């Protein structure tokens, strides 16, 4: 076992406490006031860090400089939760109805806090670390908000690094990939507006559920018939909301879409086809439509040199058999992509072992990987800032 992991194993009780506290008290994107206060208070308790809060609303940067080195490294973790009802029976289950940490951001933050305490205690590096705790990853708002608030001007770094747990990948193994690793995302809301009325008198209504159903089916043809088989894209309609009673025709229906693409050309084509299909399908049923576009996400592109460096550091720290390089890519999205547009760096996956995928109501973060993730942050810092 890696020596740093062994030492962090002794600190794992604290990481579990931080993780379980955040898991019990989840907060949705851009509403993370209490979580941000908890993180800042915990960091100040370590001593040595300059802790700045309120960056991009709830973002935090903790800075620790050791020695006379002129290099600086940024380590980033996210801490927002999802609007999903947790279905796990845990002693630390979410106490907030309809909101839960079902992506593991509480675990990401606990790992970075564990590394922060270790680094403050050992100070076995020469340079500056910036610990970036970011809100609102799920909505693609947090990264851009922190950048607009002067993240890299106020807290300069030479490179920035991120990490995400992934269930289904081997527990405790690290996965690195240069270049494109995760997809862009566009989260849209489509409203189909009809005319409500009595379910037994349909001739006096214009049913937006029927029109919306047609939209759902037509949209599913976009990727299969328009995206080249060698490319990758997916359109998910994750919510279809209309009415409250079986004998009432609703006046409107809401569709919530997640559109993921990997090239600018495919993105433009897919979004254009969605606009066209929504307008024409709604009109064909006598309805009108509106599209509300969310904050677009970018393709996450890892810097080849920094990816190679990080993978080699992980191999030296954990053993070559614990590092998969090159690893897989996913059509999930990540707003760390915006930070990588500003600075060199890389994003890796940490295997969570068997279990439900993130965003599933029964997803569980594997607490066994807390010291492993924290050890990666320590190894990266000590190697990068020799």
Closest listed residue to residue 6, CA positions, set 375, 253, 297, 262: 375
Instruction: State yes or no: 359 annotated in a binding site.
Output: yes
What are 241-286's pLDDT values in tens digits? 999 999 999 999 999 999 999 999 999 999 999 999 999 999 999 9
Instruction: State yes or no: 103 annotated in a binding site.
Output: yes
User: What pTM was estimated for this model as a whole?
Assistant: 0.92
Q: Give me 206's structure tokens.
A: 């214009």
What are 72-118's pLDDT values in tens digits? 999 999 999 999 999 999 999 999 999 999 999 999 999 999 999 99
Q: Give me 138's structure tokens.
A: 């799920």
> What confidence category does residue 125 fall into, taking pLDDT thresholds of 50, 70 and 90?
very high
Question: What is the CATH number that goes with domain 184-293?
Answer: 3.30.70.360
**Residue among 11, 137, 141, 207 flagged as catalytic:** 137
Verify whether residue 80 is a known catalytic residue. yes
* Stretch(es) of the chain classified as CATH 3.30.70.360: 184-293
* Stretch(es) of the chain classified as CATH 3.40.630.10: 3-182+299-384
Residue 214: the pLDDT is 98
- From CA 140, how far away is CA 143, in angstroms rounded? 7
Average pLDDT over residues 141-167: 98
What are 25-58's pLDDT values in tens digits? 999 999 999 999 999 999 999 999 999 999 999 9
Q: Give me 301's structure tokens.
A: 């592109």
**Residue among 11, 27, 32, 80 flagged as catalytic:** 80
Residue 9: the pLDDT is 84
Q: Is 300 in contact with 181 (CB distance < 8 Å)?
A: yes
Instruction: State yes or no: 105 annotated in a binding site.
Output: yes
Query: pLDDT at residue 10 above 90?
Result: no
Residue 1: the pLDDT is 53
Residue predicted with more confidence, 229 or 4: 229
Closest listed residue to residue 164, CA positions, set 112, 100, 238: 112
Average pLDDT over residues 161-177: 98
Residue 200: the pLDDT is 97
Residue 35: the pLDDT is 98
Instruction: State yes or no: 50 annotated in a binding site.
Output: no
Q: Which CATH superfamily is domain 3-182+299-384 in?
A: Zn peptidases (3.40.630.10)
Residue 2: the pLDDT is 72
What are 327-350's pLDDT values in tens digits? 999 999 999 999 999 999 999 999
Three-state secondary structure readout of 242-276: CCCCCCEECCEEEEEEEEEECCHHHHHHHHHHHHH
Closest listed residue to residue 187, CA positions, set 219, 139, 222: 139
Residue 239: the pLDDT is 96
Q: Is 358 in contact with 82 (CB distance < 8 Å)?
A: no
Verify whether residue 137 is a known catalytic residue. yes
Which segment of 1-10, 190-199, 306-315, 364-373 scores lowest on mean pLDDT?
1-10
Residue 208: the pLDDT is 98
């Amino acid at each position: 076992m890696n020596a740093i992991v062994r030492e962090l194993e002794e600190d794992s009780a604290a990481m579990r406490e931080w993780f379980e506290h955040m898991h019990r008290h989840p907060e949705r994107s851009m509403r993370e006031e209490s979580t941000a206060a908890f993180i800042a208070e915990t960091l100040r308790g370590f001593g040595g860090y300059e802790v700045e809060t309120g960056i991009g609303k709830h973002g935090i940067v903790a800075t620790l400089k050791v020695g006379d080195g002129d290099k600086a490294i940024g380590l980033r973790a996210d801490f927002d939760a999802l609007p999903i009802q947790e279905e796990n029976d845990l002693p630390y289950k979410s106490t907030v109805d309809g909101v839960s940490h079902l992506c593991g951001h509480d675990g990401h933050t606990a790992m970075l806090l564990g590394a922060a305490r270790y680094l403050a205690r050992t100070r076995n590096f020469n340079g500056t670390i910036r610990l970036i705790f970011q809100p609102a990853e799920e909505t693609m708002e947090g990264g851009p908000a922190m950048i607009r608030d002067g993240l890299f001007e106020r807290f300069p770094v030479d490179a920035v690094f991120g990490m995400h747990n992934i269930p289904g990948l081997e527990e405790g193994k690290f996965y690195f990939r240069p270049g494109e690793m995760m997809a862009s995302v566009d989260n849209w809301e489509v409203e189909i507006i009809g005319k409500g009325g009595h379910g037994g008198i349909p001739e006096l209504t214009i049913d937006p559920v029927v029109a919306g159903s047609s939209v759902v089916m037509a949209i599913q043809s976009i990727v299969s018939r328009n995206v080249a088989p060698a490319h990758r894209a997916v359109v998910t309609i994750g919510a279809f909301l209309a009415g409250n009673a079986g004998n009432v025709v609703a006046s409107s229906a809401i569709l919530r879409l997640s559109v993921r693409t990997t090239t600018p050309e495919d993105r433009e084509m897919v979004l254009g086809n969605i606009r066209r299909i929504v307008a024409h399908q709604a009109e064909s049923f006598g309805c009108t439509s509106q599209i509300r576009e969310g904050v677009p996400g970018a393709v996450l592109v890892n810097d080849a040199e920094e990816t190679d460096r990080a993978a080699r550091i992980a191999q030296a720290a954990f053993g070559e058999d614990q590092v998969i390089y090159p690893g897989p890519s996913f059509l999930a999205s990540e707003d760390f992509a915006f930070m990588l547009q500003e600075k060199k760096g890389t994003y890796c996956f940490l295997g969570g072992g068997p279990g439900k995928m993130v965003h599933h109501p029964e997803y569980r973060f594997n607490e066994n990987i807390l010291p492993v993730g924290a050890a990666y942050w320590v190894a990266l810092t000590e190697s990068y800032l020799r």
